[in-house]
Chains A and B, each alone.
Chain A
Amino acid sequence: SQQGEEDPQALSIQEGENATMNCSYKTSINNLQWYRQNSGRGLVHLILIRSNEREKHSGRLRVTLDTSKKSSSLLITASRAADTASYFCATDAIVQGGYQKVTFGTGTKLQVIP
């Protein structure tokens, strides 16, 4: 099963409201990233948070990481219609041979209504 699972699966809010989505993972990680995907397009990297960090900001984005609960949250403040997209978390794990493998979560579909 997927390393990362996001909830909610889908979220619909009014423009101007805040949107919060969560990611839970199963095994220990080094780092966690959030990506955004517009409909029918590739993913775009938003923000990275390292395992020794608890919170990180980038513009209207705020990411938290709780390694004891194996969870992360992405908060988008003052949402805009252009924020409508799917959001995925990605975690890393060391696999055989010492290589690093990245696993994406199930995604949260965010709809921001103008």
Chain B
Amino acid sequence: EADIYQTPRYLVIGTGKKITLECSQTMGHDKMYWYQQDPGMELHLIHYSYGVNSTEKGDLSSESTVSRIRTEHFPLTLESARPSHTSQYLCASSEYYTGVLETQYFGPGTRLLVL
């Protein structure tokens, strides 16, 4: 069982609200990721981080923002939620190697529904 946690697990919220999805890992991993996944569909990388104070945008454009002030914490924020943000958000972490495809450890996900 991976030591990576996401809260909340489910969130139903109204349009225009600001939300923060939390992700924490206790494995000391340098790299962390956020993916967006619609039910039964592929994963889309929206943000990643190589370490503290490092954040990068992923393949899928997202209106969300992330921060990495501490190694273990990688929160995702939506300033103004919209129905189009309804999805499942998966957080993952991995050790930082070069030349080797590192295993990613995933959290249980947050299901977001914006009304």
Binding site for B on A (CB under 8 A): 2, 30-33, 35, 40-45, 48, 86, 88, 90-92, 98-107, 109
Judge whether B101 and A41 touch: CB under 8 Å: no
Judge whether B42 and A42 touch: CB under 8 Å: no
Interface members, chain B 55-102 (any A CB < 8 Å)? 59, 88, 90, 92, 97-102
Interface members, chain B 15-48 (any A CB < 8 Å)? 35, 40-43, 45
Question: Residue B108 contacts which of A30, A33, A41, A48 (CB distance < 8 angstroms)?
Answer: A41
Assembly CA distance A88 to B102 (angstroms): 15
**Which of A33, A92, A104 has the largest count of B CB atoms less than 10 A from its CB?**
A104
Beyond A86-B40, A100-B98, A109-B40, whether A33 also contacts B103 by CB under 8 A is: yes
**Contact sample, A vs B, 16 pairs, CB 8 Å cutoff:** A30-B99, A30-B100, A35-B104, A40-B88, A40-B109, A40-B111, A42-B2, A42-B4, A42-B92, A43-B43, A45-B104, A48-B103, A86-B40, A91-B101, A104-B43, A104-B45
